[in-house]
Amino acid sequence: MKFLDQTKIYIKSGAGGAGCVSFHREKYVEFGGPDGGDGGRGGDVWVEAVNNLNTLIDYRYQQHYKAKVGVHGMGRNRHGANGSDVILKIPVGTQVYEEDNETLICDLIEEGQRFRIAKGGNGGFGNAHFKSSTNQAPRHANPGLPGDERTVWLRLKLIADAGIVGLPNAGKSTFLATVSAAKPKIADYPFTTLHPNLGVARIDAREIVIADIPGLIEGAHEGVGIGDRFLGHVERTRVLLHLVSCNEEDVALTYRTVRTELEAYGNELAQKTEIIALSQTDILDEKSVEEKRAQLEAASGKPVLLLSAATHKGTDTVLRAMADLVEKSKEAEAPKAVDTRWDRTVLEH
C-alpha cells in the first residue's frame, strides 16, 4: 500500500429541505387550516480518527465528498427526512487545514475523536409554523438553507514515541528492522527510504513505537534532496534517536549538519530530548570507533552510545535508553494526585 501523508479534498454539506405550503382538505371539515411540514436538515461532513489506518491514500483517488440534502416538507404536517451525514475516516494524528494549507481547523490525536468540518443547512419552515391568531391561513414557507462548501487539506503526522533522524545511509532503517517487525526497504545507496516507516519495539516488557523518516542532507529545509517534508512525522515524538554512521569521515560535521536542519525546521524539534548513537560500528576496528566516538561527544557535548544493528551489538542498550526517556516523559505529563486532606496548620490558626 502506497504511503500518502498529505492530500486536498473538496467537501460539501447537504442543503436543507424547503418547507411546504399545504392546507388540510377533508370531507366535512370546512376550515382545515395550514398543514405544511418543515423541510429536513441537510447532512453534515465529519472527520473521525481511527486506529486501523496509517495513510491517506484513500483520499488520493476520491477527492469529492457531498452529504445528502434534506427532503422537502409535505402536507399533513409531515416533516421532511434529514439528509445523511458523511463521515471521513482518517488516521490518528491527522490535521485538517483550510485551503491555504496554513490555517488549522482541527487536530485529531486520539482514536474516536470527531470534528464537524461542514455543517448541513437547516430545513425551511412549512406554512403550519406561521399559523397564528391573526394569520390563520399563511400561504408562505421558508426555503432550506444551503450547506457549507469548502476545500480542505488533510495532513498526517504519525503518532510515535521515538523518532530516528540522521543522514542517508546512517543505518536508520536497519535499526528499525532489527528491533521491530517493520520491513523497510534497505539498500546501499542514499535515499533508500522514501517515506516514513513505523515499528513497535519491545524491551524489558515495555513497548515503544518508533518512526523512521527519510534521511536529511545539508539544505533539506530549502528542499534539497527529499527536503524536510517528512520531519512533521517526528514532531509528536517524545525522544529523538540521532544516528551518525562510523562510515562518515567527519562525524562532528555530520552531527552538526543534521542539527542545523532540525533547528531550521523549527516547531521545537531541536529542543526534543536526544539520544546520540554511533552506528555501523562493525565496519571499523575498536580504536577507530573510540576515536570517532570522542569526536562526536566533543561536538555534541553529550554521551554517545555505540550501535551495530547488523550484529545486534548495542541495540538493547539504545532501546532501554529510549524506553526510559519515553517513560519519564509520560510520567511528567500524567496528572498528579491532589491531596484533599485538610491542612492541620490551617485549622489550628
Reduced 3-state DSSP string for 151-217: EEEEEECCCCCEEEECCCCCCHHHHHHHHCCCCCCCCCCCCCCCCCEEEEEEECCEEEEEEECCCCC
User: Mean pLDDT across the stretch 251-277?
Assistant: 90
Decide: 243 and 307 in contact? Cβ < 8 Å: yes
Q: What is the pLDDT of residue 344?
A: 43
Residues 42-95 have pLDDT tens digits of 999 999 999 888 889 999 899 999 999 999 999 999 999 999 999 999 999 999
Q: What is the pLDDT of residue 226?
A: 72
The helix, strand and coil proportions of the chain, stated in percent and rounded to the nearest 5, come to: 25, 25, 50
10 Å Cβ neighbour count for 303?
11
Q: What is the pLDDT of residue 338?
A: 46
pLDDT at 218 exceeding the cut of 90: no
Residues 163-190 have pLDDT tens digits of 999 998 888 999 999 999 888 878 777 7
- Mapping DSSP to helix (H, G, I), strand (E, B) and coil, where does residue 251 land? helix
225 vs 218, higher pLDDT? 218
User: Mean pLDDT across the stretch 8-20?
Assistant: 97
Q: What are the cell numbers at 163?
A: 523518532
pLDDT at 337 exceeding the cut of 60: no
Q: How confident is the model at residue 154 (pLDDT cuts 50, 70, 90)?
A: very high
Grid look-up 522514501 returns 194
Give the closest residue to 318 by CA, choosing from 147, 178, 132, 169.
Answer: 178
Q: What is the pLDDT of residue 32?
A: 86
Grid look-up 424547503 returns 18
Q: What is the pLDDT of residue 153?
A: 97
346 vs 199, higher pLDDT? 199
Q: What is the pLDDT of residue 169?
A: 87
How much of the chain exceeds pLDDT 90, in percent? 65
Q: What are the cell numbers at 206?
A: 515495555
User: Mean pLDDT across the stretch 18-47?
Assistant: 93
Q: How confident is the model at residue 219 (pLDDT cuts 50, 70, 90)?
A: confident
Q: What is the pLDDT of residue 2?
A: 64
* Rounded CA separation 190/177 (Å): 17
For the CA atoms of 46, 50, 55, 61, what is the dihedral angle to 10 degrees?
A: -40
Residues 339-349 have pLDDT tens digits of 444 444 443 44
Q: What is the pLDDT of residue 287?
A: 92
Decide: 151 and 12 in contact? Cβ < 8 Å: no
Q: What are phi and psi of 298, to 5 degrees?
A: -65, -40
Decide: 171 and 187 in contact? Cβ < 8 Å: no
Q: What is the pLDDT of residue 336?
A: 54
- Mapping DSSP to helix (H, G, I), strand (E, B) and coil, where does residue 25 land? coil
Q: What are the cell numbers at 118?
A: 461542514
Q: What is the pLDDT of residue 255?
A: 94
User: Mean pLDDT across the stretch 148-153?
Assistant: 96
Q: Cα separations (Å) of 290 from 212, 241, 246, 306, 332?
A: 26, 20, 10, 9, 35
User: Mean pLDDT across the stretch 239-248?
Assistant: 92
193 vs 63, higher pLDDT? 63
User: Mean pLDDT across the stretch 320-349?
Assistant: 67
How much of the chain exceeds pLDDT 70, in percent? 93
On average, the pLDDT of the chain sits at: 89
Judging by DSSP bridges, how do beta strands 162-165 and 206-212 pair with one another?
parallel
Q: What is the pLDDT of residue 310?
A: 87
Domains and CATH numbers, the chain: 1-156 (2.70.210.12), 162-333 (3.40.50.300)
Q: What is the pLDDT of residue 322?
A: 94
Q: What is the pLDDT of residue 334?
A: 65
78 vs 193, higher pLDDT? 78
10 Å Cβ neighbour count for 314?
18
